[in-house]
Amino acid sequence: MLLMRCPLLLLLLPLSSRPQKLPTRDEELFQMQIGDKAFFHDSSVIPDGAEISSYLFRDTPKRYFFVVEEDNTPLAVTVTPCDAPLEWKLSVQELPQEASGEGSGEPEPLEQQKQQITNEEGTELFSYKGNDVEYFVSSSSPSGLYQLDLLSTEKDTHFKVYATTTPESDQPYPELPYDPRIDVTSLGRTTVTLAWKPSPTASLLKQPIQYCIVINKEHNFKSLCAVEAKLSSDDAFMIAPKPGLDFSPFDFAHFGFPSDTNSGKERNFLKPSLKFGRQTSSKPRVDLHKVCIGNKNIFTVSDLKPDTQYYFDMFAVNTNTNTSTAYIGTFARTKEEAKQKTVELKDGKVTDVFIKRKGAKFLRFAPVSSHQKVIFSIHSCLDAVQVQVRRDGKLLLFQNVEGVRQFQLRGKPKAKYLIRLKGSKKGASMLKVLATTRPNKQSFPSLPEDTRVKVFDKLRTCSSVTVAWLGTQERNKFCIYKREVDDSYNEEQKKREQNQCLGPDMRKKSEKVLCKYFHSQNIQKAVTTETIRGLQPGKSYLLDVYVIGHGGHSVKYQSKLVKMRKFC
């Protein structure tokens, strides 16, 4: 077990030259004094089974130490970056001989103990670079002195660390439901109603869970830590709204949302506050807001601007441990003030479209010059949508679209095109739409008619699998990603789990297999294969192929679920 159980000592060693003890559960077993100010930094202690927050200055590394006293001890370490990517690694080295618990209890000379730590390289167990929440989990860790190094190269940043020697029983982070999406159940000119399925941690385990909603006009967030890093200390938290009123009008007034009442009078948490740090220049307040609403699983956001796109994120927060887990975020555009206008498409520019459940959206495309062809590219992020295209009132196209489809229509001088998109009955729809009269200027990558990924079953082994997919005559970049999934994972879960418009930039770097460029002038031979190695026997994997166009937009081929052979 970790010597820091009460507490788990994860410890940053000090800058000062004064000797400081590395606390353990039993001081008689292991005492160590470290005083190298050129090698160690500010001290900090993390209790076993609790999440703590800390801070990194840019290009200034931090090094934590903690001790595992006994072999075969379970261990889990979680690092959560907040507002900047982190580089971190975990390594282990043998405990000094007198620290094993078999010695006399007398502390070793200071210089001898320092040499035993600083002169040994240690064995690297795990490393990561990025802004995802990342984990190291081991069911049987050796005894030793564990070292956690963290570095931020972009800017000063906050981060969180969680460590435990009982990962199976702790369950520190709230569990997501089988469908972790946020549904937009009602959409108005100034209101959006959201609904979501409760966390099993609350409904089954009866743990105290509250839900926190984040609203902004820029993008979705990966963690609550990233949200709080954007908020000032004055307005980082809000009390739960009163029953019958989800957002009162003053809630949005201070960061650019309109209010028609006088209830937006100044309150203490609305006043500007001073921020202390390296930078002294003031920054504009971001259009970002967070509210915690207790254990409700339906909520109405009010006092929004008409015809404005908002991004919504939901976090389940365990009020006992203050740890949180993110649902899959969504976005929605509020209705226009007057009668809904037709959205104008610009030649060669991708337009994001949101359609409420059973709703419809009208788009208009009027090329500025004469043209021979018009190409419409439609990427349905979630469920299938119905597409209807008319040219000067004449119906040219009527089809259901799921995934990515491209339609090429004959042009006509001074023609105007009206596109009607009808949403799914299952839920809200999100799409990316591109219209162009210049096929060579497309932002979307060209796609073959068949976007399936084929697995060669005869070449499937215990640790590798060979896949193939079709390309086109256009040279594009292809990237392959793999993710281990449970044996119970199925096609229905695959559809529920992910917004299909999310590109490879939202994937973990550890899931990336490779990227390559490929094309063939002979369309009959435009097929490529790759062998994915390093897989585990008997495990199931979800394989994804992304094609990235010249404009940077990516499209995902149909995901492929494959199970490795158990015996070879």
Whether residues 309 and 353 share a domain: the answer is no
Measured CA to CA in angstroms, residue 220 lies from 136, 326, 360, 394, 487 at distances of 25, 10, 24, 40, 30
Cβ(464)–Cβ(482) below 8 Å: no
Does residue 20 lie in a domain region?
no
Give the whole-angstrom CA distance, residue 444 versus residue 328. Answer: 25
Mean pLDDT, residues 93-99 taken together? 67
Is a pLDDT exceeding 90 seen at residue 145? no
43 within domain boundaries: no
- Sequence-separated (6 or more) residues with CB below 8 Å from residue 118: 36, 39
Q: What is the pLDDT of residue 357?
A: 84
Q: 255-286, pLDDT tens digit by residue?
A: 333 334 333 333 333 333 333 333 433 444 56
Q: Are residues 369 and 493 in the same domain?
A: no
In this prediction, residue 116 has a pLDDT band, given cuts at 50, 70 and 90, of low
Number of CB atoms found within 10 A of residue 265's CB: 9
Domain end, chosen from 441, 469, 493, is at: 441
Residue 272 lies in a domain: no
Q: What is the mean pLDDT of residues 90-100?
A: 71
Q: Looking at residue 121, what is its pLDDT?
A: 66
Does position 293 have pLDDT exceeding 90, yes or no?
yes
Q: Are residues 398 and 546 in the same domain?
A: no
- The answer to whether residues 388 and 427 belong to one domain is yes
The reply to whether 397 and 481 lie within a common domain is no
Q: Are residues 466 and 526 in the same domain?
A: yes
Taking a C-beta distance cutoff of 8 angstroms, is the pair 359, 423 a contact? Answer: yes
Close Cβ partners of 392 (under 8 Å, ≥ 6 residues apart): 412, 415, 416
Looking at the fold, whether 468 and 494 belong to one and the same domain comes out as yes
Are 158 and 221 contained in the same domain? Answer: no
| 300-327 pLDDT per residue, tens | 999 899 889 999 999 999 988 888 999 9
pLDDT tens-digit map of 452-492? 899 999 999 999 999 999 998 888 899 999 999 888 887 66
Q: What is the mean pLDDT of residues 241-256?
A: 38
Q: What are the contacts of 219-223 at 24+ separation with CB within 8 A?
A: 219/311, 220/311, 220/313, 220/329, 220/330, 220/331, 221/313, 221/326, 221/329, 222/131, 222/132, 222/133, 222/326, 223/80, 223/81, 223/82, 223/133, 223/324, 223/326
Residue 550 has pLDDT above 90, yes or no: no
Last residue of a domain, one of 415, 441, 467: 441
Distance (Å, whole) CA 399 – CA 386: 6
For residue 100, the SS3 value is helix
Residue linked to tokens 């009078």: 265
Over range 503-513, report the average pLDDT. 89
Query: Which one has a higher pLDDT value, 254 or 366?
Result: 366
pLDDT at site 257: 36
Task: Place 119 in a pLDDT band, splitting at 50, 70 and 90.
Answer: low
Which of 29-43, 352-366, 425-439, 479-493 bottoms out in mean pLDDT, i.e. has the lowest?
A: 29-43
350 domain-assigned: yes
Q: Same domain, yes or no, for 210 and 358?
A: no
pLDDT at 380 exceeding the cut of 70: yes
3-state SS, 341-410, equals: CCEECCCCCCEEEEECCCCEEEEEECCCCCCCEEEEEEEEEEEEEEEEEEECCEEEEEEEEEEEEEEEEE
Domain that holds residue 354: 343-441
The residue type of 245 is: L
Question: 143-156 burial, b if ≥16 CB within 10 A, otherwise e?
Answer: bbbbbbebbbeeeb
**pLDDT tens column, 169-228:** 777 789 899 999 999 999 998 999 999 999 998 878 788 899 999 999 999 998 898 888
Q: What does pLDDT average to over the chain?
A: 77
In-domain check, residue 409: yes
Q: Are strands 360-365 and 343-344 parallel, antiparallel or unpaired?
A: parallel
Residues 356, 311, single domain; the answer is no
Question: Is residue 11 one of the residues assigned to a domain?
Answer: no
CATH of the domain at 154: 2.60.120.680
Does one domain contain both 187 and 160?
A: no
**Nearest-CA neighbor of 329 among 182, 209, 123, 196?**
182
Answer with the one of 338, 361, 377 that is the final residue of a domain: 338
Torsion angle, alpha carbons of 356, 331, 347, 450, to 10: -80
Q: Which two tokens stand for residue 338?
A: 């007057």
109 domain-assigned: no
Q: Which of 220-234, 241-255, 446-460 has the lowest mean pLDDT?
A: 241-255
pLDDT > 70 in the chain, percent: 75
pLDDT (0 to 100) of residue 406 = 83
Low-confidence winner among 280-289, 366-375, 449-458 (lowest mean pLDDT): 280-289
- Which pLDDT value is given to residue 44? 58
Report yes or no: 421 and 390 within 8 Å, Cβ to Cβ. Answer: no
Total count of residues recorded for the chain: 568
- Position with higher pLDDT, 380 vs 235: 380
Average pLDDT, integer, range 110-118 = 46
Question: How does pLDDT run across 431-447, given as a tens digit for each residue?
Answer: 889 898 887 766 678 77
Q: What is the CATH number of the domain that holds 489?
A: 2.60.40.10
- pLDDT > 70? residue 26: no
> Percent of the chain scored above 90 by pLDDT?
29
pTM of the model: 0.43
Tell me which of 182-191, 270-279, 334-343, 365-374 is least confident: 270-279
Tokens of 316: 């389940």
pLDDT of residue 340: 62
Does 200 share its domain with 305? yes
The verdict on residue 33 lying in a domain is no
Strands 288-292, 298-301: pairing is unpaired
How many domains is the chain built from? 4
Residue 389 has pLDDT above 90, yes or no: yes
